[in-house]
Amino acid sequence: MLIRSLTLATLLAVAGPLFAADGDSPLDMDKGRSRPLIIIAPSTVDPTWVSLKKALDEPDNKKGFTERNLVLYTVLNLMGQRDGKDLGPQDTAALIRSLKLGAGAKTKVILVGKDGEKKLEQPGPIELKEVFAAVDQLPAAEKETPPPTIAPAAEPEPTAKGAKGTKSGKPAKPAKPPEMPDD
């Protein structure tokens, strides 16, 4: 019994991260709907983050940000946020893992398209105008990508009235269970 438990625990320890790595990124929910702009910085006083935050507070830039369907992800001190709302530690780790950045403590700014592919990746400072220009240069097909739709479940075709083998009216009563013989 102990060997079985240890074997199961080992299998789960090995296979668990493999299952978790498939499609658990917060970016997956934005695919086809918006363009994530991700800022990864080692601290909250990083000059790149401070300048972008200041630029995003201006009304014209806010309007341009929303018109281009951008969503802001920040990872500061390994604490992730999406549009100012905290991400859990697992979601933050999944976000970093999905970007395939490798090791490094440098600041990075990444723009991901609606198709889920990186469109812009720049280390260090960047102007918001450069991000807007990158979005505006995207092909028309990427700009107009509709959000993915979930196909409705197929409905069974109604049977014609009076079809052979079918009765119209009340549903049938459940069959009576067979009686058990007395011993």
Q: Is residue 3 part of a domain?
A: no
- Tell whether 149 is covered by a domain: no
| Residue with tokens 């709907």, as numbered in its chain | 33
> How many CB atoms are closer than 10 A to CB 36?
25
Domain-embedded: residue 180: no
CB 80 within 8 A of CB 41: no
- Domain membership of residue 68 (yes or no) is yes
User: How confident is residue 142, by pLDDT bands cut at 50, 70 and 90?
Assistant: low
157 token code pair: 């075709």
Is the pLDDT confidence value at 156 over 70? no
Residue 178 lies in a domain: no
Q: SS3 sequence, 107-167?
A: CEEEEECCCCCEEEEEECCCCHHHHHHHHHCCCHHHHCCCCCCCCCCCCCCCCCCCCCCCC
Q: What is the pLDDT of residue 11?
A: 56
Domain of residue 84, CATH code: 3.40.30.10
The DSSP bridge pattern shows strands 35-41 and 70-76 to be: parallel
pLDDT of residue 22: 47
Q: Which domain holds residue 51?
A: 25-132
Asked if residue 83 belongs to a domain, the reply is yes
Count of structural domains, the chain: 1
- Return the percentage of the chain with pLDDT > 70, whole number: 68
Picking from 7-21, 85-99, 166-180, which range would have the lowest pLDDT averaged per residue? 7-21
Residue 93 has a CB neighbour count (10 Å cut-off) of 17
Comparing CA positions, the residue from 97, 42, 33 lying closest to residue 74 is: 42
**Does the pLDDT value for residue 160 go beyond 80?**
no
Domain assignment present for residue 13? The answer is: no
- Indicate whether 101 belongs to any domain: yes
Pairing status of strand 35-41 against strand 108-112: antiparallel
